[in-house]
Amino acid sequence: MLLLKFVCMTARPCPECGGLVASTISHCPHCGHQLGSDMQHSTTEGENPHSSLARVVIAIILFWPFGLVSLYYYIKSDDRWDCGNKAGAELYGRYSRRFAKYAIYAVLIAFVIGIFFPFVCFGIFS
Protein backbone atom coordinates (compact mmCIF):
# COMPACT_ATOMS: atom_id res chain seq x y z
CA MET A 1 0.00 0.00 0.00
CA LEU A 2 2.84 2.37 0.80
CA LEU A 3 4.43 1.66 -2.57
CA LEU A 4 1.13 2.40 -4.33
CA LYS A 5 0.88 5.71 -2.47
CA PHE A 6 4.42 6.58 -3.54
CA VAL A 7 3.73 5.67 -7.17
CA CYS A 8 0.45 7.60 -7.23
CA MET A 9 1.88 10.69 -5.60
CA THR A 10 1.54 13.64 -7.92
CA ALA A 11 2.33 17.30 -7.46
CA ARG A 12 -0.36 19.93 -7.93
CA PRO A 13 -0.28 23.70 -7.64
CA CYS A 14 -1.63 25.36 -4.53
CA PRO A 15 -4.65 27.55 -5.42
CA GLU A 16 -3.47 30.24 -2.96
CA CYS A 17 0.26 30.68 -3.64
CA GLY A 18 0.88 28.54 -6.74
CA GLY A 19 3.57 26.41 -5.06
CA LEU A 20 3.78 22.70 -5.86
CA VAL A 21 2.18 20.46 -3.24
CA ALA A 22 2.27 16.65 -3.09
CA SER A 23 -1.10 14.94 -3.50
CA THR A 24 -0.82 13.30 -0.08
CA ILE A 25 -0.52 16.58 1.87
CA SER A 26 -3.62 18.43 3.09
CA HIS A 27 -1.90 21.79 3.82
CA CYS A 28 0.37 23.79 1.54
CA PRO A 29 3.92 23.79 3.02
CA HIS A 30 4.56 27.22 1.48
CA CYS A 31 1.58 29.27 2.69
CA GLY A 32 -0.35 26.89 4.98
CA HIS A 33 -3.51 26.98 2.85
CA GLN A 34 -5.98 24.15 3.58
CA LEU A 35 -6.34 22.08 0.42
CA GLY A 36 -9.72 20.58 -0.46
CA SER A 37 -10.37 16.86 -0.33
CA ASP A 38 -11.32 16.90 -4.01
CA MET A 39 -7.69 17.65 -4.84
CA GLN A 40 -6.30 14.82 -2.72
CA HIS A 41 -6.20 12.18 -5.40
CA SER A 42 -6.76 12.77 -9.07
CA THR A 43 -7.49 9.94 -11.44
CA THR A 44 -7.92 9.96 -15.17
CA GLU A 45 -10.96 8.50 -16.85
CA GLY A 46 -10.91 6.17 -19.83
CA GLU A 47 -8.19 4.14 -21.45
CA ASN A 48 -4.54 5.10 -21.55
CA PRO A 49 -3.91 6.54 -25.03
CA HIS A 50 -0.15 6.22 -24.61
CA SER A 51 0.09 2.43 -24.52
CA SER A 52 -1.05 -0.40 -26.76
CA LEU A 53 -1.27 -3.98 -25.58
CA ALA A 54 -1.44 -5.29 -29.16
CA ARG A 55 1.93 -3.70 -29.93
CA VAL A 56 3.42 -5.31 -26.83
CA VAL A 57 2.07 -8.77 -27.69
CA ILE A 58 3.45 -8.52 -31.23
CA ALA A 59 6.83 -7.46 -29.83
CA ILE A 60 6.86 -10.44 -27.45
CA ILE A 61 6.03 -12.81 -30.30
CA LEU A 62 8.66 -11.36 -32.64
CA PHE A 63 11.60 -10.90 -30.26
CA TRP A 64 10.82 -11.65 -26.63
CA PRO A 65 13.75 -9.84 -24.91
CA PHE A 66 12.66 -6.45 -26.24
CA GLY A 67 9.02 -7.52 -25.98
CA LEU A 68 9.32 -8.13 -22.24
CA VAL A 69 10.93 -4.73 -21.72
CA SER A 70 8.09 -3.22 -23.73
CA LEU A 71 5.60 -5.06 -21.49
CA TYR A 72 7.34 -3.71 -18.38
CA TYR A 73 7.00 -0.12 -19.61
CA TYR A 74 3.41 -0.78 -20.73
CA ILE A 75 2.53 -1.82 -17.17
CA LYS A 76 4.29 1.22 -15.72
CA SER A 77 2.45 3.48 -18.17
CA ASP A 78 -0.91 2.05 -17.15
CA ASP A 79 -0.05 2.42 -13.46
CA ARG A 80 0.83 6.07 -13.96
CA TRP A 81 -2.38 6.64 -15.95
CA ASP A 82 -4.48 5.05 -13.20
CA CYS A 83 -2.84 7.35 -10.64
CA GLY A 84 -3.59 10.44 -12.70
CA ASN A 85 -0.01 11.08 -13.76
CA LYS A 86 -0.50 11.85 -17.46
CA ALA A 87 3.10 12.93 -18.02
CA GLY A 88 4.44 9.69 -16.52
CA ALA A 89 1.99 7.64 -18.58
CA GLU A 90 3.15 9.39 -21.74
CA LEU A 91 6.83 8.88 -20.87
CA TYR A 92 6.52 5.16 -20.14
CA GLY A 93 4.18 4.70 -23.09
CA ARG A 94 6.89 6.20 -25.30
CA TYR A 95 9.43 3.75 -23.84
CA SER A 96 7.02 0.86 -24.47
CA ARG A 97 6.60 1.89 -28.12
CA ARG A 98 10.36 2.31 -28.51
CA PHE A 99 11.18 -1.21 -27.32
CA ALA A 100 8.37 -2.67 -29.44
CA LYS A 101 10.01 -1.00 -32.45
CA TYR A 102 13.37 -2.42 -31.39
CA ALA A 103 11.83 -5.91 -31.46
CA ILE A 104 10.67 -5.36 -35.03
CA TYR A 105 14.07 -4.00 -36.06
CA ALA A 106 15.83 -6.98 -34.48
CA VAL A 107 13.68 -9.43 -36.45
CA LEU A 108 14.25 -7.52 -39.69
CA ILE A 109 18.01 -7.45 -39.16
CA ALA A 110 18.05 -11.17 -38.35
CA PHE A 111 15.99 -11.87 -41.46
CA VAL A 112 18.33 -9.86 -43.71
CA ILE A 113 21.41 -11.49 -42.21
CA GLY A 114 19.80 -14.92 -42.56
CA ILE A 115 19.08 -14.32 -46.24
CA PHE A 116 22.40 -12.79 -47.27
CA PHE A 117 24.83 -14.61 -44.97
CA PRO A 118 24.77 -17.94 -46.87
CA PHE A 119 25.32 -16.13 -50.16
CA VAL A 120 28.33 -14.27 -48.81
CA CYS A 121 29.86 -17.30 -47.06
CA PHE A 122 29.52 -19.69 -49.96
CA GLY A 123 30.51 -17.19 -52.63
CA ILE A 124 27.32 -17.36 -54.65
CA PHE A 125 27.57 -13.67 -55.60
CA SER A 126 31.10 -14.07 -57.02
List pLDDT tens digits, range 85-105.
888 899 999 999 999 999 999
List pLDDT tens digits, range 106-115.
999 999 988 8
Stated pTM of the model:
0.63
Q: Report pLDDT for 38.
A: 44
CA dist 27 → 4, 5, 9, 24, 34 (Å): 21, 17, 15, 9, 5
Of all residues in the chain, what percent carry a pLDDT higher than 90?
Answer: 38
3 state SS of 115:
helix
For residue 73, which of 103, 49, 52, 42 has the smallest C-alpha distance?
52
